[in-house]
Structures are given as structure tokens and as C-alpha cells.
Amino acid sequence: MYGMDRVEMGLVGIAVLLLLLALRVPIGVGLALVAFFGVAIVTNGNVAFGLLSNVPYEFIGDWSLSAVPMFMFMGFLATEMKLTSSLFGAMRILLAGLPGSLAVSSVSACAMFAAASGSSVATSASMSRIAVPEMLKLGYNPGLATGAVASAGTLGSLIPPSILMVIFGIFAEVSIGKLFAAGILPGILSAIMFCLMIIVRAKLNPKLAPDMVEKPSAADRIWALRQIWPLPLLVVGVLGGIYAGIFTPTEAGAVGSGLTVLIALVQHNFNWMRAWTAARQAVEGTASIFIIAVGAGLFARFMALTGVPDFLAGSFLTSDSQILLILQLSLLFLLLGCFIDSIGIMLLTLPIILPLLHQADVSLIWFGVILIKLLEIGLVTPPVGLNVFVMKSSLGNLVTLPQIFRGVSWFIVADLVTLGLLIAFPAISLWLPSMMR
């Protein structure tokens, strides 16, 4: 097959893959199946079997990928060793007096938790059990209470250290350290936008978020500051070491895990059984990611053989406008986010869109931040909205799914405003990376 025949075969492969995903075939399996049979048809069976044997070995043998299990281990350790258990209570005291203070405290606590865990799902699951019942008990609107935690939980994808950033950096072959730096200001901006939206809504309609009765004293605020010191220390230790050149982003996950254990020992919270639980969770999570990643690696080879990326580049790059390309891709990712999980979307699409971005000379650091912001929005977008279902599972019958989805709709609007700012002003993402050596 030559010329358009190969392109047509590649497009058929994409259609078959989407059909398999609609039939609930696991995304890693679907990617690998389409890639294997596609390569066999385009070339021959020997080439397909060669790819099937070589690509998994080459991919999993990549030293950079060791950052994934170590950052996951760091996040699970921080949770299991109770480094995050006092976050909400401390932020509640520190932010008392603001309109909608409990919801604002939830967003702030989620942002700090996300910085330690790197996982949106873990952030939402943990904080929902702590913050939402407290807000509901004090008369908060169920939509506002659940929407704040479900949406702020997505910040785990953007605020470094982030598992998604590590995976994007490896696939896109860009500096993970610079990606981490690029995510800091957008992550802070996202949290600020959520807080501003809560404050404005609570000010306009006080029934949404009744004021707290107790007024914390200066001693209470000092106590609160003492409760949250482990997480800033952990984040500064990991990111500071990367930016100072003391260790690489690949090594940072291991350093962060060791620092987490050290903090737990200082706080007398270390427990071998909890450490084993964290290790098991990290292994399970890593295995799931690697299966999808291997399938994506095979699919990337199939796409390259068919010439689909070049064909799409010729079709979409009809103008020199990078903004227009970013807007087109944003619409695509917003649509995919309604149906597919974050890692699946990223690894499904990168083999196709990276060549387009290279040809359009788009900064992959800038696009990486935009992509992760889009994936964050997908985590709370119906009908799938993984964070919403995680929250419903955590809270049981306290709230209903329609209540949560109505609540997150306001936060999706805030996210879209943030996304627009990130697209219109690339310097928000690129200023800190430009300061690095």
C-alpha cells in the first residue's frame, strides 16, 4: 500500500480504535491491537511481531520512566503517613472570615494536597471525606460543597510534581523540570480563580455558604501553621532540588519518597503496614499506566508508518496561526474528556498531534500546560467525569450525582476562563521555565 492507501488505512485504524473504546475495551489493549494488526496489514506479520517484541522493552527500559512509580509512591506515602490529615482543619482556621470560607479552605487544601500527591483522583477521594461532610453539616449548598472539592482535586494534574507532566515530558521529549516550572503559575492561577468564584457567589447569595460561627484566635492560627509545614517542606525540597540542579526530575521522586518517610518519622507517624500499602498502590497504579503507555508506543509507530500525522498536518495547518491550531485541539480534547480518562486521552492523541505541533513550531512546554488544563476539565465533565464519580463513591448517599455535576458546572466556567488566559498569554506558563538554566 502506498500514498493515500496507507493514510486511509491509518484513518480506518483510528476509527476501529474509537469503536473498541466505545465497546469498553481497555485503552491499552485497544491501542496495541489496532497497532499490531495495522502494521501487519501495512507491512507484514514479521514487522508487526518485531514491533510487539521491541517497543515494550525499549519503552519500559527507559530510565526516565522510573520517575512515575517514585512520584506515585511519594503521593501515596504522604496520604498513608497522615501528612495531609490536618490540611482542611488548618486552612479552615487560616481562611476564616472570607465569604464561603469552608469552600475556599477546601480549594486551598486540595491545592496543597495535590502538590504532594500529584494525583487528582487521590486528592478528590481523600478531601471529599474530610471537607464535604463538614460543609454540609454547616448548611452549605451541596453543589458548592462537592463542586469545590471535585474541581480543586483536578489541580493534582497541574501543580507539580505531576504524574501527567512526567508522562507528557517523556513522550514529547521535553524537559520535565521545565514542565514542572511551567505548571506552578497556572496551578496557582487555577486555584485563585476557583476561590474568587466562590467568594463572589457567597457574597451575592449568602445562603449558599453560611458564615462560620467561631472566630479563630491568634493561637489557633499559629497552631494551624504548625499543622501544614510538612507539605510546603516536601514540595520545596523536591522542586527546589530540581531547580538547583542537586538532582534530576527522574531522581526527584525517590528523593521525595525518602523525604516523606523522614517527615513521618519526625512526626512519629511512620508505620510499616501503611508503607507497604503505599508501595502496593504505587505498583498497581504504575502497571496500569505502563500498559496504556506501551500500547501508545505501538500506536505511534503505526501512525508513523501510515503517514496520518503528515496528512492531518496538511489538512489542519492551513494558516500560520498557532492560536487557531491550539483552539482546534482544545475543542477536540474537551470532547474527548467527556468520555475517556486523562492518561488515556494523552497517550491516545500524542502520536497524532505531536508532529502537527512540531510543524507549527508550537512550544511544547506551553502546549503541555494547556493540554493538562484541558485534561483537568475532562475530569469533572459529564457524562464520565472521573472525579465526580470518585466523590460520589466516597460520600455514598450524602449527595447525588446531579447535585455534584450542577456544582462543578460553575468551576468548569472558571476553568475555561483560566484556559483562555493561558492560551492568550503564553508567558504565564513560559516565564518560570525561561528563568531556568
Q: pLDDT per residue over 332-386, tens digit each?
A: 888 888 777 777 788 878 888 888 888 888 999 999 999 999 998 988 887 767 7
Helix (H, G, I), strand (E, B) or coil at 127: helix
All three cell numbers of 245, joined, read: 540542579
Report the C-alpha gap between 313 and 319 in whole angstroms.
Answer: 11
Nearest CA-CA partner of 375 in 346, 354, 397: 346
CA distance 325 to 357: 8
CA distance 190 to 415: 7
Report pLDDT for 2.
44
Counted domains in the chain: 1
Query: Among the residues of 268-424, which ranges form H helices?
Result: 272-306, 308-316, 322-336, 342-359, 364-378, 386-395, 401-424
User: What's 138's DSSP letter?
Assistant: T
pLDDT at 227: 74
Cα 19 from Cα 17, distance rounded (Å)? 5
CA 382 to CA 412: how far, in whole Å?
A: 11
Contact 142, 99 (CB under 8 A): no
pLDDT of 328 reads: 86
- How far is 305 from 48, CA to CA, in rounded Å? 11
In the prediction, which pLDDT does 374 show? 93
Q: Helices 176-204 and 364-378: crossing angle, nearest 10°?
A: 40
- Tell me the three cell numbers of residue 307: 503517514
Task: Please report the pLDDT score of residue 316 as a whole number.
Answer: 60
Residue 195 is predicted with a pLDDT of: 94
pLDDT of residue 338: 77
pLDDT of 3 reads 46
Question: Which residue positions in the chain have pLDDT lower than 50?
Answer: 1-3
Side-chain-facing half-sphere of 120: CA atoms under 13 Å: 29
Helix axes 272-306, 163-172, angle to 10 degrees: 30
Q: Which domain holds residue 214?
A: 4-434
Length of the chain measured in residues: 437
Q: Could you give the CA distance from residue 243 to residue 221 in angstroms, rounded to a whole number?
A: 31
* Stated pTM of the model: 0.81
Rounded Cα distance, 102 and 289, in Å: 34
